[in-house]
Amino acid sequence: MKKIASFTINHLVLEPGIYVSRKDHLENSTITTFDLRMTAPNKEPVMNTAEVHTMEHLGATFLRNDPEFADKTVYFGPMGCRTGFYMVLAGDYESKDVVDLVTRMYEFMRDFEGEVPGASARDCGNYLDMNLNMAKYLAKRYLDNTLYGIDQKHLIYPE
């Protein structure tokens, strides 16, 4: 069986960043999947489900309300390995094209106050598995350690 593209990335040298994971072409459209890598795989602890779940709700809410990207947002959700998120946008983009968007999204997460959108039994299948304080901490960590001052090395997958 052919290995899928995301399993061909060397996770032993991968660092936090924003990477184009893949581009899919559907008729006349391009769909770009981004790897928003928040922790160094196999070197740092993975994120717990409660904060990942909280960030998923906040990130999806932010993207689907962004004036420029609301109609281009296909998906935002966690990686199974819990080291980051996938952001899928309609359009042909490079990592540098979304640095501002991703930075604003994580600032929204870091600064969020109040009830997490969709965190109720009616709206979510596991609404009790949330941790806003830890989600805010991790968003701040990603901003401070990766997004603010991101360089080319952290925008293109390592060889």
Task: State pTM to two decimals.
Answer: 0.95
What's the distance, Cα to Cα, between the start and end of the chain in Å?
Answer: 23
Domains and CATH numbers, the chain: 16-148 (3.30.1360.80)
Of the listed ranges 6-20, 21-35, 42-56, the one predicted with least confidence = 6-20
Q: In this predicted model, what pLDDT tens digit does every residue of 82-126 receive, in sequence order?
A: 999 999 999 999 999 999 999 999 999 999 999 999 999 999 999
3-state SS class at 153: helix
**Residue 145 scores a pLDDT above 80:** yes
Pairwise CA distance, residues 85 & 110, whole Å: 16
Q: Which amino acid is at 56?
A: E
Task: Give me the sheet containing 84-90, strands edge to edge.
Answer: 17-26, 29-37, 84-90, 73-78
Say what the pLDDT of residue 47 is: 97
What is the identity of the amino acid at 98?
Answer: V
Share of the chain above pLDDT 70, in %: 100
Which secondary-structure segment (H or E) carries 103?
Answer: helix 99-111
